[in-house]
Amino acid sequence: MTEDPFLALGLPRRADLSDDDVRAAWRRIAAATHPDRDDGGDPARFGAAAAAYALLRTAYDRGEVLAELGPGANAPGRQPRPRVGRLGLRVAAAAALVGGVFAVAGWAPAAIGVAAGALTWLAATARHDLPPRR
């Protein structure tokens, strides 16, 4: 990829952009640069924006483009922070909770339910591709 499609549409390089955000940026640029305008528009910019929109149309495509742009594409000039430390703390907290419950209650159905809940919590909080909570 020779050019940044996010730049062509005037959008920030973020994977959490909605489809509506991308569509609105495309329509704004298309209305201003379309070759059928009375003033002739800007065919080169229109073509670049059309190609960028084709690349960024869906969330999956935006993720692929960000991966192709390389690390740190989400925030230019900043590398993403490693999540290993937080995941380790979560694993330790879940292990302590489950160990304590099994020590007190044994293999009771409630203890097994707490263990399943702790594993679900670990899986849900370790997924980096889920949208952030608001």
Q: How far apart are CA 49 and CA 64, in angstroms?
A: 18
Distances (CA, A) of 52 to 24, 38, 86, 99, 117: 13, 24, 36, 52, 43
Q: How far apart are CA 81 and CA 60, in angstroms?
A: 22
pLDDT of residue 24: 93
Average pLDDT over residues 66-71: 79
For the chain, give every domain's residue range: 5-69, 84-126
Of the options 1.20.5.50, 1.20.120.350, 1.10.287.110, 3.40.50.300, the CATH number for the domain spanning 5-69: 1.10.287.110
82-114 residue pLDDT tens: 555 677 787 888 899 888 888 998 888 888 899
4-59 residue pLDDT tens: 888 989 998 887 888 899 999 999 999 999 888 888 888 899 999 999 999 898 88
pLDDT of residue 25: 92
